Amino acid sequence: MKKKLIGGIAAAAALALAMTGCAGGGGGGDDELITVGFAQTGSESGWRSANTESMKAAFSEENGFELVFNAADNKIEAQIAAVRSFINQGVDAIVIAPIVEDGWDDVLTEAKEAGIPVILEDRTVTASDDLYAAWVGLDFRNEGVMAGQWAAETFGDTPTNLVVLEGTTGSAPANDRAEGFAEAIEGTAITTLDSQTGNFTRADGKTVMEGFLQKYGDTIDLVYAHNDDMALGAIDAIEAAGLVPGTDIQIVSIDAVKDGMLALIDGKINFIVECNPLLGDLAAGLVKDVLAGKDVEKKIYVEDQSFTPEQAAEVIDERLY
């Protein structure tokens, strides 16, 4: 039964890969365009969709690129298989947004042996850094620190009960945002009651928050959500419990996607640290530089902003995502 299931999935996955392979190979005749394979994680959140759009816009034909796009639905093995198929297709460069940090050594070595430079975007990997050309992304740790500093300034010496909605267990943003936040609130009167994963999704954020509310009732003062989607789920749960989000229970989150910013303006979220998804132009520039043989910095951090409700109201109209 189980074997059949796994076998079936493997067969279907192989079929899907073969199909993407055809689509990529068919258009590869143009010499002037730089063929870039982009292995995206999936489309799990509003942030991810904005990131995908930015990459597609930057790697456009007008900019001299031919993009082979693959979204792996957050399945690690599917993403590694996609990168392998890019290598087999002989693309000029590969851009990866790794789903998890571990397990990249083999496939990155294969790319290196095939002479294809790899640019990582967004999340990082634990593999040795001579296996990829460069990484462009955000300082998740610093995002956590910024969120934590706000909490420390707001609550300081007032005894405060905190619950945390963590991102996907084992992912770099979840690990680093937790670490940065914990460091920033050290020495304050904020105590962490509980911390549980909400998988970066609204539904899980809501369910976990419901559980926290049943467990601790209104003793919770502050919620730290590793992304806006989980914060939005938590808002629903807090309202259903008859409390006022933003007042009875304050919320700090990271991402600054549209829905999150609107909730911030409504006063339901108190503070948001941005996690800028518009990495496309930087990644495209890096690919061109690496292929031209220029020296590039190994790690390029994009500056993040943070927003209070007032600041959010000012910028909401001009934001692209």
Partner 1 sequence: MTKIFKHRLVLPIAALVALILVNTISRPSFVSITVRDGQLYGSVIDILRNSAPLMLVALGMTIVIATRGIDLSVGALMAVSGAVALTIIDGSGSPDSPATLGIAIAAGVTVTLIFGAWNGFLVSVLGIQPIIATLVLMLAGRGIALLITGGFITTVTSTPYKFMSQGYLLGLPFAFYVSVVAIVLVALIQRRTALGVLTESVGINPEASRLAGVRSRGIVWGAYAVSGLLAGFAGILYSSNIMAADANAAGQYIELDAILAVVLGGTSLMGGKFSIAGTVIGVFTIQTLKSTITFLGVPPAVSPLFMAMVVVIVVLVQSQRVRNGASKLWATVSSRKEAEVAR
Taking the CA atoms of residue 44, residue 46, residue 48 and residue 54 in that order, the dihedral angle to the nearest 10 degrees is 150
* Residue type at position 9: I
Q: Tell which one of 60, 63, 89, 195 touches partner 1 (CB under 8 A).
A: 195
Question: x/- binding map, residues 11-50, to partner 1, per CB under 8 A?
Answer: -x---x-------------------------xxxxx--x-
Out of 215, 298, 299, 319, name the contact with partner 1 by CB under 8 A.
215
- List the interface residues with partner 1, window 223-252 (CB under 8 A): 229, 232-233, 236, 240-242
Q: Which pair of tokens denotes residue 122?
A: 């967004």
Q: According to CB under 8 A, which one of 27, 156, 159, 217 is a site residue for partner 1?
A: 217
Residues 155-184, interacting with partner 1 (CB under 8 A): 166, 169-170
CA distance 116 to 113: 8
Strand partners, 94: 37, 118
Pick the binder of partner 1 from 1, 22, 292, 320 (CB under 8 A).
1
Q: Quick one: tokens of 132? A: 């990829």
Does residue number 320 form part of the binding site for partner 1 (CB under 8 A)?
no
CA dist 50 and 58 (Å) reads: 12
Contact 272, 304 (CB under 8 A): no
As given in the structure block, the two tokens for residue 161 are 């009960």
Tell me the one-letter amino acid at 314: E
**Please, what is the minimum distance in Å from the beta carbon of residue 233 to partner 1?**
6
The correct pick among 202, 224, 249, 251 for binding partner 1 (CB under 8 A) is: 202
**What tokens were used for 306?**
């943070």
Q: How far is the CB of 7 from partner 1 (least distance, A)?
A: 9
Closest CB to partner 1 among residues 242, 293: 242
Residue partners of 157: CB distance under 8 A and separation at least 6? 188, 189
Contact indicator for 68, 40 with CB cutoff of 8 Å = no
Query: Which C-beta is closer to partner 1: that of 110 or that of 236?
Result: 236
Closest CA to 74 of 183, 227, 199, 193: 199
State which of positions 118-137 bind partner 1 (CB under 8 A): none
Residue 179 CB partners (closer than 8 Å, separation 6+) = 141, 144
5 forms part of the interface with partner 1 (CB under 8 A)? yes
- Interacting residues toward partner 1 by CB under 8 A: 1, 4-5, 8-9, 12, 16, 42-46, 49, 52, 73-74, 166, 169-170, 194-197, 199, 201-204, 206-208, 210-212, 214-215, 217, 229, 232-233, 236, 240-242, 259
